């Protein structure tokens, strides 16, 4: 008689091995707790070592400042750390940005405005151009951040299914477009000020006066859109969908109720969307009118609209809030999803619940960043790394490519862009500044790799949700299925986004507003 094992058989294969390893890792928050502990221990050990590295003088006439690691276990430093802990948390770069932008997105999502907008966009599709349209909509949909994964995936699957194509190809196309949207986009989003906050703070390790424009990568993002759309179009129709048709036959049928929910737009929803759309148009016109006067407070003192000192640049996050909140409220009141101001406040409160893990993470990440900078370990690593790069005489182009590859490897296990950049920016930005590579270029390299790899790592937090959507049509969908389906997009995004960056670089096309590729090399070693 055959016997059965009480323990399930261990799944084999590379993807399953990655999944098992990732599941053994602590949470991102705990990673920062451990990083804080390591930072303090290193500060104690390195405080006894004499290093021959110097920061350049920040004021004319001053001598270069020698790097000395500060022992964080010193009594005075412990007291200072405790006193500053609250301020560290409150000044954490992405904290306020994320919360404010999310408030507006929450109103738009809860009212139903976002869902109706996506259904309308996808409804304007001819069968011939279904794939590029879904990619285009997905790129635009990255504006609503995580909400897009919840709304867009089932709608895209249904569109493909209704046109006689494989529904999982719709999921894959939308997923790839959303991922690409974080590096290839027509409009700014909340990810821009979040990245800028970390980058500028990291740049201050080497140069406290350095200013990073919130849209320092905008031109590169805009220029990448055509390549991303073309690549996703080709990969879907020539690689992924034929593979799905051969290996993943559709075995589930949607019920009529499910189909109607995802495809049909009610008359009251059309009315609400019409007036909400008009409100967006009115906001755009108002913004243009306010920008016209040369002495407008929306401009910089010199009249520039693109300078980091311009009011419009400092208002990116509040504008994101208004462009979602106002049409969301109008749509909600017209359709009846909002009956009073309590419902609006409730929508903001509900979406804020999703930010609780981020807020906890922000507290510990802020303490780590303070300790890493204050102890001078960040400066030491940056200058030592820069010295090594100078000794090896690695070309700048190769250095940036190595950064892209490094981020890709890290991204397999840590998928949150905020978490990764919080860890990597204090090391990579000042290190590359010391060898003449600008913070804006380093940030662009990071965003490229982050976008490309997210779609094919099983550690991505939305993988279970996406698998659930796929199971509606192919019940055997698992992690391996989704990874295999998305891997061609990772390769494609990596090639297209990296190639676009180097084309921009070689042609000296600005990465964005007030951006550059190189800065003066810092002489970090005493003569």
- In this structure, of 23-27, 116-120, 370-374, the range with the lowest mean pLDDT score is 23-27
% residues pLDDT > 70 (the chain): 85
Q: Which two tokens stand for residue 145?
A: 């951040």
Q: What pairs with residue 525 in β-bridges?
A: 53
* pLDDT for 4 beyond 50: no
The pLDDT tens digits for 431-475 are: 898 888 999 999 999 998 888 887 887 767 677 778 877 888 888
Cα separation values, 62 from 215, 229, 520, 521, Å = 33, 52, 18, 18
* pLDDT for 291 beyond 90: no
Q: With bands split at pLDDT 50, 70 and 90, how would you rate the model's confidence at 164? A: confident
State whether the Cα torsion 206-93-309-181 is positive or negative: positive
The pLDDT tens digits for 43-63 are: 999 999 888 777 665 554 566
Give per-residue burial for 147-171: e unless 16+ CB within 10 Å, then b: bbbebbbbbbbbbbbbeebbbbbbb
* pLDDT for 28 beyond 70: no
Query: What pLDDT, on a 0 to 100 scale, did the predictor assign at position 1?
Result: 41
Residue listed under structure tokens 């820069």:
386
The pLDDT tens digits for 62-78 are: 666 778 899 999 999 99
| Residue 81 near residue 371, CB atoms below 8 Å | yes
Element (DSSP H or E) covering residue 65: strand 65-66
Mean pLDDT over 102-128 rounds to 80
* pLDDT for 130 beyond 80: yes
Q: Report which DSSP code applies to 395.
A: -
The pLDDT tens digits for 229-280 are: 999 999 999 999 999 998 888 886 655 555 555 567 888 999 999 999 999 9
Query: What pLDDT, on a 0 to 100 scale, did the predictor assign at position 309?
Result: 74
Taking the C-alpha atoms of residue 19 and residue 418, their distance in angstroms, rounded to an integer, is: 21
Query: What pLDDT, on a 0 to 100 scale, did the predictor assign at position 338?
Result: 93
| Residue 372 near residue 378, CB atoms below 8 Å | yes
Give per-residue burial for 115-144: e unless 16+ CB within 10 Å, then b: bbbbbebbeebeeeebbbbbbbbbbbbbbb
SS3 at position 458: coil
Give per-residue burial for 243-275: e unless 16+ CB within 10 Å, then b: bbeeebeeeeebeeeeeeebbeeeeebeebbee
SS3 at position 479: helix
Cα separation values, 339 from 227, 347, 351, 353, 465, Å = 44, 12, 18, 22, 30
Query: What pLDDT, on a 0 to 100 scale, did the predictor assign at position 201?
Result: 87
CB count within 10 Å of CB 44 equals 15
The pLDDT tens digits for 213-230 are: 888 999 999 999 999 999
Taking the C-alpha atoms of residue 30 and residue 26, their distance in angstroms, rounded to an integer, is: 6
Element (DSSP H or E) covering residue 66: strand 65-66
Dihedral of the alpha carbons of 354, 358, 360, 361, in degrees to the nearest 10: 160
CB count within 10 Å of CB 12 equals 8
Q: With bands split at pLDDT 50, 70 and 90, how would you rate the model's confidence at 380? A: confident
């Amino acid at each position: 008689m055959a016997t059965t094992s009480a323990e399930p058989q261990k799944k084999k294969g590379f993807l399953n091995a990655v999944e098992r390893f990732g599941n053994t890792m602590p949470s991102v928050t705990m990673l920062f707790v451990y990083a804080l502990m390591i930072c303090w221990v290193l500060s104690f050990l390195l405080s006894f070592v004499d290093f021959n590295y110097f920061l350049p003088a920040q004021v004319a006439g001053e001598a270069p400042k020698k790097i000395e690691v500060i022992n964080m276990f010193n009594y005075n430093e412990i007291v200072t750390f405790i006193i500053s802990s609250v301020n560290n948390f409150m000044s954490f770069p992405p904290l306020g940005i994320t919360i404010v932008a999310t408030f507006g997105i929450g109103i738009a999502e809860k009212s139903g405005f976002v869902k109706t907008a996506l259904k309308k966009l996808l409804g304007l599709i001819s069968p011939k151009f279904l794939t590029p349209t879904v990619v285009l909509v997905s790129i635009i949909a990255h504006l609503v951040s995580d909400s897009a994964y919840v709304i867009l995936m089932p709608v895209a699957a249904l569109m493909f299914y209704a046109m006689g194509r494989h529904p999982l190809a719709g999921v894959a196309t939308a997923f790839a477009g959303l991922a690409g949207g974080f590096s290839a986009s027509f409009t700014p989003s909340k990810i821009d000020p979040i990245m800028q906050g970390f980058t500028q703070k990291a740049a201050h390790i080497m140069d406290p006066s350095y200013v990073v424009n919130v849209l320092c990568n905008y031109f590169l993002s805009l220029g990448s859109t055509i390549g991303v759309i073309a690549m996703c179009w080709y990969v879907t129709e020539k690689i992924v969908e034929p593979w799905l048709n051969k290996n993943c036959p559709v075995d589930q049928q949607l019920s009529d109720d499910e189909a109607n929910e995802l495809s049909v737009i009610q008359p009251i929803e059309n009315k609400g969307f019409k007036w909400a759309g008009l409100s967006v148009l009115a906001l755009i016109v108002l913004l243009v009118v306010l920008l016209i006067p040369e002495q407008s407070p929306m401009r910089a003192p010199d009249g520039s609209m693109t300078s980091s000192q311009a009011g419009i640049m400092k208002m990116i996050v509040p504008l994101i809030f208004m462009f979602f909140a106002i049409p969301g409220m109008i749509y909600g009141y017209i359709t009846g999803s909002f009956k009073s101001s309590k419902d609006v406040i409730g929508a903001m409160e509900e979406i804020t619940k999703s930010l609780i893990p981020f807020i906890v993470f922000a507290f510990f990440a802020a303490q780590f960043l303070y300790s890493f900078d204050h102890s001078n370990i960040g400066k030491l690593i940056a200058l030592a790394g820069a010295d090594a790069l100078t000794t090896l005489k690695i070309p700048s182009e190769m250095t940036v490519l190595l950064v892209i590859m490094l981020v890709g490897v890290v991204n397999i296990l840590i998928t949150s862009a905020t978490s990764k950049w919080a860890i990597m920016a204090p090391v990579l930005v000042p290190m590359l500044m010391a060898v003449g590579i600008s913070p804006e270029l380093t940030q662009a390299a990071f965003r490229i790799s982050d976008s490309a790899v997210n779609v094919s790592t099983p550690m991505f937090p939305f993988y279970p949700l996406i698998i659930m959507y796929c199971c509606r049509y192919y019940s055997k969908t698992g992690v391996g299925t989704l990874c295999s389906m998305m891997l061609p997009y990772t390769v494609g995004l990596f090639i297209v986004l990296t190639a676009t960056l180097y084309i921009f670089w070689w042609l000296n096309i600005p990465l964005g507003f007030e951006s550059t590729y190189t800065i003066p090399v810092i002489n970090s070693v005493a003569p």
